[in-house]
């Protein structure tokens, strides 16, 4: 802004400037002089203030000759000092300045960050014409509304007279895009912000709402912070006419700034009172009905006293007043509009005062009833003094109280306190008022408002439930009837909003509809029910679209499982529970190594599926040591299928080598026995002293026992790969834990988790369920689980738990204690990190990475439950028992030797019958599958074994000899 220098005196009594406004003036843009903003090569400006600008002649402002001024990009100029760049309220904010003139005082300018600048030549410039000093804002805008607002205005200082002119050119409001930055300050201020003497501000506003009074009808502000309205959102009518000019001329008479309360308000008059400003001798009084833009002069002007009694006013009408102080030919600007109390602004809906209604009858107790989409009944409480001509009512969708001169919506006869409203819009809120009609001319005041909302055309659907499934193929739609509705229309489609099934079927005035023809099975339908009335058609946009899905003709099976005992290296058996109505053609089973559910479009073939007419199905041709996921669905008539049920999962067993033969021995007491066994190439024989757990006693085709006193059983297996241990070996802690928890681990290769050690706490017998889970999903899914019997004690014992979990290569596995029962209260764990840290690894095989406890897949530094893991890579067969028989019978003092011939079986391969060459020394025969599971036993066999019921494949025929030795023979069933 331009800064004007000051003399030794300060600018005071700025409020005594006379003020006038006019329209139709010529706006003459300046093109010469000096451009202030943007500066340099900039293309935008914001919050900028000029340095001091020297005037060609002194300009008298507030009695002081000013020689310099400052220009602010925010729509004003100051004297005495530069304002801050962020001073957007020059009338009410003084800073270091000693005067200000504001044409559009608010945050003005543009942003250099905007990719596209609004059209126009945005600049601020000044030009000294010799007789006038002119500052011009061209294509200016409020910063917040810069994209849509466009302002052109000038401040012109007349050297000879000291007159201040603000003139406006073409100005475009910001439209409806913003409600910010729509209240600029306009006026002049001296060296203080004292409203009574040193500020001459202007004001207007949206009073009453929707007013058509533009900027040419402004009034004197009621405070130093008063502002004008320029908004396309609040009221588009409050415009700035091109050619509008505001003029302030130095004067000597201060305006009226203080009022007393308005008194003696009657139905046709009121008495105003005010405090005389210094020097005032007479006064002009003006009044107007609120909503009018122009003023009426009081018939008694000029008034010599500080009071005036207005007469001849309309009854029950709100008025505003303003007063001008006079002293001979000296005229002040008109006062602000006072309120009834005189202490505040009357530029509000209540104005200065409201005359008394001739009709004093008031109405209360408004209520509404009998609502329909197009009609309503309103009622009220009869007045204490019932009006002779009944009542008038007014309703509108706006909550603004109607003016006294508004045309009523309707009326009732004397004594009638209800009215029926019609022609209303559905789903619309209406406000209504009632007043008394005393004699046809005199009307009471409007009552307080009440409101109601008409009923909509969308009924409440009661069935089917939203998004219901399993619906009949001839379902019934029901809804709650809407009062006043003539009928309903129905739309039904197979897509949301679709009408391919039913398009605006007129159902008449009913509240239920049953589909006459069967819909498709297992199909989702979208529907809407919309009402209409005699005067309002059903809307083009339907009511809420709901959906239902019809029942499947083909019902899915449930409870899909794969029994652990059925799992082999190359297959498993899935089983399930049949639906209430068994499918006509059976079931389809889909399996995959990916946990991705099949869909109705998934292609089934011999490599990923099988079929069954019962509630189980063998799955074959699988890879060993691999996770498989399984789903099942019903297969009904033709191509009709149910949804898929599942998934469940299992891990195929590893493919173990075979113990081809196992031979025991009979020895004398106190001597060792040499046991022997054979297996295929590449496999290793392991010797154990128990059927499960324990450590390997020896490896190799023979094992020599210690000296034996009694007959002793040993066990032998064939294995590939290696055995190993991983995990924290032995508990250090004595603290138990009871919650579901465990350990995260990664399998670097496939392996068998043969077992782990735990330390059960408690007071006796109980069970614990341990699960292998996939922790890469949430919630984690169980792959395998086992429930084992344990004994808890106060001093827990390290106890081996055989698991034999087959683990495929992968990450984020979890080994978890899931539940416990009985007298087992928990398991020992290592809390925090005092035990050590993760990871714990068996190189190249497995890495235990974190603890897991208490919430989903949350990791922990604690070590939970499972110690000294026993891990085998590769594969190990089931253990076979080999007996070292101790007998003194036949023991001689000298060595004896004897020899035996091996028994043979034939034919091999066989079809149904397998023959034994010499059965006399055979005590029993055990037939096992390749995984080591016993499938058939013959006690005291004869030489012919009938095996026709076996499936094709390789079997192990174990001949248990009467002397305790065993002979294992591979046989192939064709």
Question: Can you give the pLDDT at residue 872?
Answer: 86
Q: What is the pLDDT of residues 680-711, one digit of tens each?
A: 888 899 999 998 877 889 999 999 999 888 99
pLDDT-derived band at 477 (thresholds 50, 70, 90) equals very high
Question: pLDDT tens-digit profile of 80-92?
Answer: 999 999 999 999 9
C-beta of residue 27 within 8 angstroms of C-beta of residue 167:
yes
Please give the span between the terminal C-alpha atoms of the chain, in angstroms, as a whole number. Answer: 107
For the ranges 171-180, 254-263, 699-708, the lowest mean pLDDT is seen at 171-180
**How many angstroms separate the CA atoms of 702 and 679, rounded?**
11
Q: Which of 786, 818, 784 is nearest to 561 (CA)?
A: 784
Residue 833 structure tokens: 């990190």
Q: What is residue 635's predicted lDDT score, i.e. its pLDDT? A: 92
Nearest to 755 by CA among 806, 717, 801: 801
Task: List pLDDT tens digits, range 901-916.
Answer: 678 888 888 888 899 9
Instruction: In the chain, list all ranges with CATH 2.60.40.10.
Output: 270-354, 364-453, 460-550, 665-721+877-895
Check whether the bond before 909 is cis (ω within 30° of 0): yes
Percent of the chain topping pLDDT 70: 97
Report pLDDT for 895.
Answer: 31
Q: Which two tokens stand for residue 287?
A: 């009044």
What pLDDT is attached to residue 555?
Answer: 86
The separation between CA 754 and the C-alpha centre of its own chain, rounded to angstroms, equals 47
Alpha carbons 805 and 135: distance in angstroms, whole number: 90
Kindly state which CATH superfamily the domain 900-974 is placed in.
Macroglobulin (MG2) domain (2.60.40.1930)
* pLDDT (0 to 100) of residue 931: 66
- C-beta of residue 678 within 8 angstroms of C-beta of residue 663: no
The CATH superfamily of 460-550 is: Immunoglobulins (2.60.40.10)
CA distances from 150 to 28, 181, 237, 731 (A): 17, 13, 16, 81
Regarding the domain with residue range 270-354, which homologous superfamily does it belong to in the CATH classification?
A: Immunoglobulins (2.60.40.10)
HSE of 74, CA atoms in CB hemisphere, 13 A: 24
With residue 726 as reference, give the H or E element that holds it: strand 723-726
Radius of gyration of the chain from Cα atoms?
Answer: 51
Among 251-255, 269-273, 291-295, 402-406, the least confident range: 402-406
Identify the CATH class of 364-453. Answer: mainly beta
Nearby residues of 120 by Cβ (< 8 Å), 6 or more positions away: 138, 139, 150
Lowest mean pLDDT, pick from 175-184, 495-504, 679-688: 175-184
CA–CA gap between residue 837 and residue 850 (Å, rounded):
9
Q: What is the pLDDT of residues 574-631, one digit of tens each?
A: 999 999 888 889 999 999 988 899 998 899 999 999 999 999 999 999 988 788 999 9
Between CA 636 and CA 617 the distance in angstroms is 17
Least confident span in 363-372, 768-777, 786-795, 929-938: 929-938
Question: Residue 949: exposed, middle, or buried by beta-carbon count in 10 A (0-12, 13-18, 19+)?
Answer: exposed
pLDDT band at 178 (very low <50, low <70, confident <90, very high): low
User: DSSP states of 878-919 as a string?
Assistant: PPEEEEEEE--TT--SS------PPP-EESSSBSSEEEES--
Residue 306's pLDDT band (boundaries 50, 70, 90)? very high
Give me the sign of the Cα torsion angle 912, 918, 920, 922: negative
> Helix or strand or coil: residue 165?
strand
* pLDDT over 60 (residue 4): no
- Write the DSSP symbol of residue 440: S
3-class SS of residue 16: helix
Whether the Cβ atoms of residue 628 and residue 609 lie closer than 8 Å to each other: no
Strands 665-667 and 880-886: parallel
> Has residue 361 got a pLDDT over 90?
no
Specify the long-range contacts of residues 506-509, CB closer than 8 Å, at least 24 apart: 509/481, 509/485
Q: What is the mean pLDDT of the chain?
A: 91
What the block records as the tokens of 72 is: 């602010």
DSSP conformation class of 849: E
Burial 94-123 (b: 16+ CB within 10 A, else e): beebbbbbbbbbbbbbbeeeeeeeeeeebb
Neighbour order of strands in the sheet with 645-651: 609-612, 587-592, 627-634, 645-651
**What is the token pair recorded at 454?**
């008409």
pLDDT of residue 171: 95
Given this model, what pLDDT does residue 890 score?
59
| pLDDT-derived band at 899, boundaries 50, 70, 90 | very low
Task: Give the pLDDT mean for 197-221.
Answer: 94
Q: Where in the chain is the domain with CATH 2.60.40.1930?
A: 900-974
- Comma-separated ranges of CATH 2.60.120.820 domains in the chain: 723-873
User: Residue 516 — left, alpha, or beta (φ > 0 → left; ψ -120 to 50 → alpha)?
Assistant: alpha
Is the entire prediction scored with pTM above 0.75? Answer: no
The most confident of 244-253, 676-685, 703-712, 926-935, by mean pLDDT: 244-253
Q: Cα-flanking dihedrals φ and ψ of residue 176, to 5°?
A: -100, 15
Domain 665-721+877-895: CATH superfamily is Immunoglobulins (2.60.40.10)
Q: What is the structure's pLDDT at 8?
A: 34
Specify whether the CB–CB gap between 277 and 253 falls below 8 A: yes
Residue 226 near residue 198 (C-beta atoms within 8 A)? no
Residue 174 region, left (φ>0) first, then alpha (ψ -120 to 50), else beta? alpha
Q: Is the pLDDT of residue 481 over 50?
A: yes
Name the band, by pLDDT with cuts 50, 70 and 90, for residue 443.
Answer: confident
Please state which CATH class domain 723-873 belongs to.
mainly beta
What is the distance between the alpha carbons of residues 195 and 329, in angstroms, rounded to a whole number?
24
Mean pLDDT confidence for 292-296: 96
Higher pLDDT, 522 or 91: 91
pLDDT value for 49: 98
């Amino acid at each position: 802004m331009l800064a004007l220098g000051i003399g030794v005196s300060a600018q005071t009594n700025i409020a005594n400037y006379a003020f006038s406004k006019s329209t139709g003036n010529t706006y003459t843009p300046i093109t010469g002089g000096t451009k202030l903003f943007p500066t340099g090569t900039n293309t935008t400006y914001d919050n900028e203030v000029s340095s001091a600008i020297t005037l060609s002649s002194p300009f008298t402002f507030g009695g002081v000759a000013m020689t310099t001024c400052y220009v602010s990009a925010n729509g004003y100029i100051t004297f005495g000092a530069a304002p801050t760049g962020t001073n957007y309220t020059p009338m009410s904010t003084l800073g270091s300045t000693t005067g200000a003139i504001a044409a559009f005082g608010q945050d003005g300018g543009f942003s250099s960050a905007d990719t596209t600048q609004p059209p126009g030549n945005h600049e601020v410039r000044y030009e000294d014409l010799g007789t006038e000093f002119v500052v011009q804002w061209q294509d200016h805008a409020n910063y917040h509304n810069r994209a849509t607002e466009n302002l052109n205005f000038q401040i012109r200082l007349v050297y000879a007279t000291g007159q201040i002119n603000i003139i406006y050119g073409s100005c475009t409001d910001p439209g409806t895009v913003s409600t910010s930055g729509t209240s600029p300050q306009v006026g002049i201020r001296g060296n203080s912000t004292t409203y009574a003497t040193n500020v001459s501000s202007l004001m207007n506003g949206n009073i009453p709402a929707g007013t058509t009074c533009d900027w040419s009808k402004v009034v004197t502000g009621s405070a130093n912070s008063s502002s004008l309205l320029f908004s396309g959102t609040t009221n588009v009518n409050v415009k700035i006419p091109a050619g509008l000019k505001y003029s302030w001329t130095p004067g000597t008479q201060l305006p009226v700034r203080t009022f007393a309360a308005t008194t003696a308000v009657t139905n046709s008059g009121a008495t105003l009172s005010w405090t005389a400003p210094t020097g005032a001798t007479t006064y002009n009084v003006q009044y107007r009905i609120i909503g009018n833009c122009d003023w009426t002069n009081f018939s008694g002007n000029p008034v010599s006293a500080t009071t005036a009694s207005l007469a001849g006013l309309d009854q029950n009408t709100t008025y505003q007043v303003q007063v001008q102080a006079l002293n001979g030919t000296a005229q002040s600007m008109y006062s602000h509009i006072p309120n009834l109390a005189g202490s505040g602004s009357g530029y509000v809906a209540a104005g200065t005062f409201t005359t008394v209604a001739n009709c004093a009858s008031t109405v209360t107790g408004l209520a509404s009833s009998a609502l329909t989409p197009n009609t309503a009944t309103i009622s009220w409480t009869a007045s204490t003094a019932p009006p002779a001509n009944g009542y008038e009512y007014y309703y509108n969708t706006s909550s603004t109280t109607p003016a006294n001169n508004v045309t009523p919506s309707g009326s009732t006869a004397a004594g009638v306190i209800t009215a029926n409203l019609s022609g209303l819009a559905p789903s619309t809120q209406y406000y209504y008022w009632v007043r008394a009609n005393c004699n046809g001319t005199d009307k009471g005041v409007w009552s307080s408002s009440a409101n109601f909302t008409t009923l909509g055309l969308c009924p409440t659907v009661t069935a089917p439930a939203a998004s219901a499934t399993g619906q009949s193929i001839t379902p019934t739609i029901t809804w709650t009837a809407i009062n006043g509705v003539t009928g309903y229309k129905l739309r039904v489609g197979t897509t949301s909003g679709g009408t391919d099934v039913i398009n605006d079927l007129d159902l008449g005035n009913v509240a239920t509809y049953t589909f006459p023809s069967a819909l498709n099975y297992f199909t989702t339908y979208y529907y809407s029910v919309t009402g209409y009335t005699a005067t309002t058609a059903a809307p083009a946009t339907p009511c809420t679209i709901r959906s239902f899905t019809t029942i499947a003709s083909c019902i899915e099976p449930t409870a899909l499982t794969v029994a652990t005992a059925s799992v082999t290296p190359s297959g498993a058996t899935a089983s399930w529970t049949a639906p209430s109505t068994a499918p006509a053609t059976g079931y389809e089973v889909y399996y995959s190594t990916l946990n991705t559910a099949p869909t109705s479009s998934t292609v089934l073939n011999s490599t990923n599926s099988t079929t069954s007419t019962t509630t189980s199905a063998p799955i074959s041709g699988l890879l060993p040591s691999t996770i498989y996921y399984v789903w099942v669905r019903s297969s009904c008539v033709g191509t009709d299928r149910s949804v898929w049920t599942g998934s469940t999962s299992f891990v195929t067993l590893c493919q173990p080598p075979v113990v081809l033969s196992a031979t025991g021995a009979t020895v004398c007491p106190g001597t060792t026995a040499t046991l022997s066994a054979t297996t295929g190439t590449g496999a290793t024989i392991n010797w154990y002293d128990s059927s499960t757990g324990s450590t390997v006693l020896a490896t190799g085709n023979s094992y020599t026992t210690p000296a034996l006193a009694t007959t002793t059983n040993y066990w032998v297996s064939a294995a590939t790969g290696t055995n190993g241990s991983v995990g924290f070996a032995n508990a250090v802690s004595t603290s138990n834990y009871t919650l579901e928890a465990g350990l995260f681990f990664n399998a670097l290769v496939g392996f068998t988790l043969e077992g782990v050690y735990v330390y059960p706490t408690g007071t006796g017998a109980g069970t614990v369920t341990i699960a292998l889970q996939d922790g890469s999903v949430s919630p984690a899914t169980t792959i395998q689980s086992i429930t084992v019997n344990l004994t808890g004690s106060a001093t827990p014992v390290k106890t081996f738990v055989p698991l034999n979990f087959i683990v495929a290569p992968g990450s984020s596995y979890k080994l978890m204690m899931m539940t416990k029962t009985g007298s087992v209260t928990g398991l020992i764990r290592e809390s925090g990190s005092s035990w050590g840290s993760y990871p714990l690894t068996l190189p190249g095989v497995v890495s235990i990475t974190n603890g897991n406890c208490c919430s989903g897949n949350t990791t922990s530094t604690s070590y939970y439950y499972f110690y000294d893991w026993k891990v085998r890579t590769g594969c190990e067969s089931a253990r076979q028992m080999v007996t070292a028989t101790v007998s003194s019978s036949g023991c001689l003092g000298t060595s004896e030797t004897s020899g035996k011939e091996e028994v043979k079986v034939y034919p091999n391969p066989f079809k149904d019958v397998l023959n034994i060459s010499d059965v006399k020394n055979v005590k029993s025969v055990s037939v096992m599958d390749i995984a080591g599971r016993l499938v058939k036993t013959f006690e005291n066999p004869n030489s012919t074994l009938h095996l026709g019921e076996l499936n094709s494949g390789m079997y192990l025929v174990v001949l248990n000899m009467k002397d305790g030795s065993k002979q294992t023979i591979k046989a192939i069933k064709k």
